[in-house]
Amino acid sequence: MIRRPVALGGPPGSGKTTAAKALAKRFELTLLSAGERFRSEAANRGLSLAELSRLAETDGAIDRALDESMLAEARPGVLLEGRVQGPLLRRRGVDSVWVAVVASEPVRATRAARRDGTDPATALREIRLREESERRRYREYYGIDLATESPDFSVDATELSREAVVQRLAEFLEGAAGAT
């Protein structure tokens, strides 16, 4: 059991969801995904992910409700996967560990294209639009700039296998998060 809540972040297409699923299985953690909740909200409203992101730029209640629902469940044995959960937990003073998966933009675009069934150029445009939208929203709603925040541990997945990324994160968590 991991004795602290874990937040796993990273930019779109970095491999954070893949890593989160593997870590949740390895450590028997409950996985909560902000991205899945956001996608579900978009579907419930009959909107695309991009459309909900644009709406969230003018309606702060969308992000706040999603993030509050995630933070309300932060406890030992839970892995919160999402871009802003780590910094939000820190600001709330929650004793947690924040890890991140990063990767180069071309690799992220290729992964996102494969995941979304599109081409890398389209995926790259969508990633950039999403990141800029989130950057503005997180700064406005929370005073958070992800470019200046530092996780407790980060893995660059640009040239690593999924297994290597998960192994590095797991080794860190075993020490930092108090795995028993």
Identify the weakest region by mean pLDDT among 28-37, 61-70, 103-112, 171-180.
171-180
**pLDDT for 177 beyond 80:** no
**Confidence at residue 2, expressed as pLDDT on a 0 to 100 scale:** 79
DSSP class of residue 4? S
Domain ranges of the chain: 6-176
pTM for the predicted model, two decimal places? 0.91
Q: Are 173 and 119 in contact (CB under 8 A)?
A: no
CATH superfamily of domain region 6-176: P-loop containing nucleotide triphosphate hydrolases (3.40.50.300)
pLDDT digits (tens, 9 = 90+) for 3-50: 899 999 999 999 999 999 999 999 999 999 999 999 999 999 999 888
pLDDT digits (tens, 9 = 90+) for 82-139: 999 999 999 999 999 999 999 999 999 999 999 989 999 999 999 999 899 899 999 9
Q: Which of 77, 63, 2 is nearest to 32 (CA)?
A: 77
- Identify any residues that bridge with 100 across adjacent strands, giving them in sequence order: 9, 154
CB atoms closer than 10 angstroms to residue 165? 22
